[in-house]
Structure 1
Amino acid sequence: MMRRWARAALVAVALVATSCGGSHTPESELSITDPPQINRWITVGGIEVPIGTTDGPSNGEWAPFAGFSHTPQGAALAAITQSVQLATASDRAWPQVLAGVAAPGEGRDLYAAHRALVEFSGTDPEMVPTIVGYTIADYSDTAATVDVVQRFSDNSLASSTTQVVRIDDDWQLNLPNDDTATITALDALPSELVDLEETRK
């Protein structure tokens, strides 16, 4: 059981992916398909994630990611960057990261119980994905569901579904309270994809 969860966690590390950006458009005029403006990309636990100009995160990479705009773009960037940061956190750092990026509840408690049972030695370079972009399956002022699209070294595609909720004027991960798989193989890029690859140039 513990070994099976450890393998699932490593797959999740490979599939949890990243996009951080910013937008200067007023929230009332934003569409969920409007791309965030990306300031730069940084490497977190071996996975490249984008940092936004105004949508967040507003803090540095050595603290749990926080400070995301109350927009679809901020929700997407929170889902991406916080998921990667949590999934790749070291055995020593994960409790602090979990407390900072995940909303309180059964999901966070379940994650903590499982994570405490395994040792994480880092990401496998052969398994590290490239973040392509994302789609937003659902968005409201208080919650969002983000599908992060990733490409792997064999050119295969997958999406990882992440939920975030708005708490204390910021987005946080709403971790699942069961072992339901949130990763889906893709045959092609979604037509509604918010493409982030161009922002690397």
Structure 2
Amino acid sequence: MTTPNRAIATAMVASTAVFGIAAVTGCGDDSTDTSTLVQQPPVEVHGSPTRLGWTSFQGMQLPVADQGPKSVNGAVARGFDHTPVGAGLAAIHASVRISVATDIQWALVAQQMLAPGPGRDAWALARAQISITSAISTGAPTVLGYLISRYSTQAADIAIYTRQADASLTRNTVTVLWQSGDWRLLLLAQPTVPTVAAVDTTPADMVALPGH
């Protein structure tokens, strides 16, 4: 049996090793008649969750708000608004839940909160090699907020900022996709850039998540 702190560290390595940025964009056609295109208004990506609260999962505090999740069934959180705020909350929940879910929880979390594909399959193979049987008892990271760098109705690239137990700050960059009526975390089988990095401070335009 792993200790709680060793379990969280091992799980983070197994899961974040396959995180990456994958922007979903449309392909253009030189023959397109641009006169028929309707310009979409800019989307506000710095809005804050309303009626923000917190819930505990495996020793981690996770944000809950009007924008989601609408339902929590065991380890699985679903029902995030099809908005930038909903995408941000979904990214946090999916990232944390797949990192700290126990041996009897992670398969269901992966099935319902991750986008299907080679990345999810690769993560499942890695996760099966470790064991997590208990919650984090001490030193759990604290989620401080998030910043959306790219957003469309199909996908969002999101940086999640976290304070670690030693007071250091990290940024975890992930992507969520809108699939089957909810945001799902996209994992890449072979990420080309590191997805977790140490940072000196949080950005001024980060969507802060206070109250815990």
Over 3 Å counting, the alpha-carbon distance change for 1:129 and 1:7 in structure 2 is: closer
Q: Distance in 1 between matches of 2:62 and 2:209?
A: 10
The 10-residue stretch of structure 1 (160-169 or 173-182) with the greater mean CA deviation from structure 2: 173-182
Total equivalences in the alignment: 180
Q: Could you list the per-position Cα deviations for residues 23-53 of structure 1 after superposition, in whole angstroms to 9, with x for gaps in the alignment?
A: xxxxx78610111114420111111011112
Partner of residue 145, structure 2 = 133
Secondary structure of 1:60's partner? strand
**What are the equivalent positions in structure 2 for 1:143-162 lying under 5 Å apart?**
143-162=155-174
| Match for residue 86 of structure 1 among 95, 98, 110 | 98
Alpha-carbon distance in structure 2 between the residues aligned to 1:138 and 1:38: 25
| In structure 2, C-alpha distance between the alignment counterparts of 1:178 and 1:134, rounded to whole Å | 24
Residue 177 of structure 1 and its aligned partner are, at CA, apart by 1.3
Instruction: Please tell me the root mean square deviation across aligned C-alpha atoms, in Å.
Output: 2.3
How far residue 153 of structure 1 moved from its aligned partner, in angstroms, is: 2.7
Which residue is 1:169 aligned to? 181
Amino acid at match of 1:151: R
| SS in structure 2 of the partner of residue 155 of structure 1 | coil
Q: Retained in 2: the 8 A contact 1:13–1:84?
A: no
1:10–1:123: 8 Å Cα contact kept in structure 2?
no
2:45 is paired with a residue whose SS is coil
Look up the match of 2:195: 182
Q: After superposition, what is the alpha-carbon deviation per residue over 1:108-164, rounded to whole angstroms, capped at 9, x for unaligned? A: 110111111111244554542111111111111100011110112322111111110
Which residue matches 1:9?
Answer: 11
Verify the 8 A CA contact 1:147 1:161 in the aligned structure 2: yes
Q: What is the TM-score with the length of structure 2 in the denominator?
A: 0.77
Cα separation, 2, equivalents of 1:133 and 1:12: 23
**Residue type at the aligned position of 1:134:** Y
**Is residue 66 of structure 2 the alignment partner of residue 64 of structure 1?**
no
Deviations 1:169-201 (A, max 9, x none): 21001112126531110111112211112x44x
1:52 aligns with 2:54: no
What is the DSSP-based 3-state SS (H/G/I as helix, E as strand, rest coil) of the residue aligned with 1:163?
A: strand
Q: Which residue of 2 aligns with 1:102?
A: 114
Instruction: Please report the TM-score for the alignment, with normalisation by the length of structure 1.
Output: 0.80
Which residue does 2:45 correspond to in 1?
32
Q: 1:153 to 1:113 in 2, by over 3 A?
A: closer
* Structure 1 portions without partners, runs of 5+: 1-5, 15-27
SS of residue matched to 2:71: coil
Taking the aligned partners of 1:129 and 1:38, their CA distance within structure 2 comes to 23
More displaced, 35-44 or 133-142?
Answer: 35-44
Whether the 8 Å contact between 1:157 and 1:186 is mirrored in structure 2 is yes
* Higher RCO (C-alpha 8 Å, min separation 6): 2
